[in-house]
């Protein structure tokens, strides 16, 4: 079973000294060094460390903020470790998922993540409901000008519906929906064109 160390600083001017000493004292087999912001989701050395880890291995870091500056990304990584049976140690935070206390920490973090996701869902639903009650139209705004242009082309040209949709930058189903809505689908083109001219 391998013990992988990961350490990170934000710039090349910063030093790894305290992190490296702690990881070496812990007894890691290999250390991945990263010069990147902790807020960056994809980091080359972290990706290498994660790719190196296999079931039963341990990832060791100096502090939680070395792994991630955001709670969401941290929780995602911890969930991935749990799913792949990878142990996790944060030296300064006294977290070790091979111990009962470490597993308790993971359970609590998971519960907070679930609660946060549920609160976000509730806020979104409440916002949508309030908007609907206030008469606000939800979803994409209607593309009235494009639809009108499409119907005019359908009535007065020999273009096919896909050609009209492309020309007006709207989807084929949208064009057909409005053709049906205006009862133009089964009318001969000549009749539609003449009706359109007399009505204008």
Which residues are part of the catalytic machinery?
A: 10
Helices (H), 27-96: 44-52, 64-67, 71-83
Q: Comparing C-alpha atoms, which of 155, 147, 150, 144 is closest to residue 190?
A: 155
d(CA 176, CA 145): 16
Contact between 155 and 189 under an 8 Å Cβ cutoff? The reply is yes
Residue 22 CA neighbour count, 13 Å, CB half: 18
Contact between 8 and 59 under an 8 Å Cβ cutoff? The reply is no
């Amino acid at each position: 079973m391998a013990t992988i160390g990961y350490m990170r600083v934000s710039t090349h001017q910063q030093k790894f000294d305290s992190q490296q000493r702690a990881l070496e004292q812990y007894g890691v087999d290999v250390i991945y060094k990263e010069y990147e912001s902790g807020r960056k989701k994809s980091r080359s050395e972290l990706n290498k460390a994660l790719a190196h880890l296999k079931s039963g291995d341990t990832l060791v870091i100096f502090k939680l903020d070395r792994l991630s500056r955001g709670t969401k990304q941290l929780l995602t990584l911890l969930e991935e470790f749990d799913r792949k049976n990878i142990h996790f140690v944060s030296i300064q935070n006294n977290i070790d998922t091979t111990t009962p206390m470490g597993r308790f920490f993971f359970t609590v973090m998971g519960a907070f993540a679930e609660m946060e996701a549920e609160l976000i869902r509730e806020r979104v639903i409440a916002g949508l409901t309030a908007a609907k009650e206030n008469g606000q139209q939800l979803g994409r705004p209607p593309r009235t000008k494009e639809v009108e242009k499409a119907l005019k082309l359908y009535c007065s040209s020999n273009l096919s519906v896909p050609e009209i949709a492309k020309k007006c930058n709207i989807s084929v189903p949208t064009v057909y929906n409005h053709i049906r809505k205006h009862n133009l689908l089964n009318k001969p083109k000549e009749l539609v064109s003449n009706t359109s001219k007399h009505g204008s």
